A and B are shown apart, each in its own frame.
Chain A
């Protein structure tokens, strides 16, 4: 969807905990967190492991591929900037690593999207600071 530049209230407010994620997104990489103590991944990224509370978490690049776990086509949203963008698709994507991510499904129409659809990450540059990861359908092969 096209994002009016003037409307930025919805854009992430980057903080110390999230900065490496958004820095990587600017470089067109999608990072998730991996715990070296319990071996489990998590997303959204926290400094500490939500599974075992270990401090030994590291950033890892995700492969950027996954499947749609669920989705909705938003047809009514009065809040700017989204009111000018309807209809648009919000997808809950399960990455191949197993973590789930909310994003928009781009390059796809509401009559085609389905649960289980194979998707891949793309990057949408919004400002110098913010590049949003999004997803688009990919060939299942």
Chain B
């Protein structure tokens, strides 16, 4: 029998608008706070899992934090990398290649735009990208292609997409750390927001914030001596489909169907056992596609499901309970925050937004351009 692996510490850095901190400083804040949460010393960390958009990112982070890990993983498959890391860290811990695994992230995406350190530019039209870059398909436009196809196949409506945004916003009103806390959103306001890439409005697009976070994993045996109730990794799965939209043969079906079924099978559970859901939501359409791929509803039923209020506070499928990327924070690769919120829900630490009797949580990260999915099932 392989060792059970647990999440033993979680933390966020300062999030939102953090113009006075660098991305590496946010890594430091988050790592230190997660160690304090777990009751671990820095010197206990011997596994490092991190990615970012700079070169040799894990080396940058190890050096800045003064770490000399014996196991390093810098998998970069977009914002879902953190769910992939949980699978990789679980394997590394079970193999004895490290004993305490730190997943750590930090980004100043919002402040970088405000400082003009990041600007809109056309991606280089080299290699395979030379067949797409000339046509001005924006980031939002890529998701819009999937959304339009979904509308065509199933009759999904703008209002149903808006319901996803409003649901996230309602959760954010219960989370004082959410960027849109105190800024409620109605369906009508969402539908009136400007069109970015038809059929996606501004309200369908996630936030751009600064922020960082950290998650620490260890074996169940190690977890016994630590400060917090350990949250067990019950199952994991990962899958990829494409980078360029012309290569996504199954559009609009996400590969979460594969990663999710593997994760649930490993956990010995079904979707009916899941009490709380964290779904990567850089755009509203991602939530609908993910619900269908994971089997929480039949293909085409996710729009009506969202419109019914099932995802919102008090609904039967509490989803993105911190407010998600649509209303809480989105520094660019937010898959780590799914794990943090799920852990807090299972610990019962969530106050006004706590889902009663949450025993099983499912996190599904989606990265790239609906390209990669990592699923993690967590339980008490």
Tell me whether A90 and B128 are in contact in the complex, defined as CB-CB below 8 angstroms, given that A10-B136, A70-B146 are known contacts: no
Point out the residues of chain A lying under 8 angstroms from B126, CB to CB.
13, 15
- CB of B124 within 8 A of CB of A13, answer yes
- CB of A88 within 8 A of CB of B244, answer no
A1-22 contacts to B (CB < 8 Å): 9-15, 18
User: Range of interface residues on chain A?
Assistant: 35 or more
A71 to B124, CA, bound (A): 22
- A-B pairs, top 10 by smallest CB distance, nearest first, are A78-B120, A12-B130, A72-B144, A73-B198, A82-B136, A115-B152, A70-B149, A44-B131, A79-B120, A10-B122
A23-71 contacts to B (CB < 8 Å): 43-44, 69-71
A36 to B135, CA, bound (A): 31
Point out the residues of chain A lying under 8 angstroms from B145, CB to CB.
70-72, 90, 92
Can you show 15 pairs from A to B with CB atoms below 8 A apart? A9-B124, A10-B133, A10-B134, A11-B125, A12-B125, A69-B251, A74-B137, A74-B197, A75-B195, A76-B196, A77-B136, A77-B141, A79-B138, A92-B145, A101-B246
Q: Name the one of B122, B149, B200 contacting A115, with C-beta atoms under 8 angstroms.
A: B149
Tell me whether A102 and B195 are in contact in the complex, defined as CB-CB below 8 angstroms, given that A44-B244, A69-B149, A77-B138 are known contacts: no
Interfacial residues, chain B to chain A (CB-CB below 8 A): 119-122, 124-128, 130-138, 140-141, 144-146, 148-149, 152, 194-200, 244-247, 251
A79 to B144, CA, bound (A): 18
Closest beta carbon of chain A to B169's beta carbon, Å = 21
Point out the residues of chain B lying under 8 angstroms from A18, CB to CB.
130-131
Q: Is A118 an interface residue (CB 8 A)?
A: no
Chain A's closest residue to B144 (CB) is A72
Closest beta carbon of chain A to B201's beta carbon, Å = 10
A104 to B130, CA, bound (A): 14
Tell me whether A74 and B136 are in contact in the complex, defined as CB-CB below 8 angstroms, given that A9-B122, A69-B251, A90-B141 are known contacts: yes
Chain B's closest residue to A113 (CB) is B198
Chain B's closest residue to A126 (CB) is B134
Point out the residues of chain A lying under 8 angstroms from B120, CB to CB.
77-79, 83
Point out the residues of chain B lying under 8 angstroms from A122, CB to CB.
none
Point out the residues of chain A lying under 8 angstroms from B122, CB to CB.
9-10, 79-82
Point out the residues of chain A lying under 8 angstroms from B133, CB to CB.
10, 12
Q: Name the one of A71, A74, A88, A102 contacting B132, with C-beta atoms under 8 angstroms.
A: A102
Q: Is A121 an interface residue (CB 8 A)?
A: no
Interface centre among A12, A14, A104, A116, by most chain B C-beta atoms within 10 angstroms, is A12
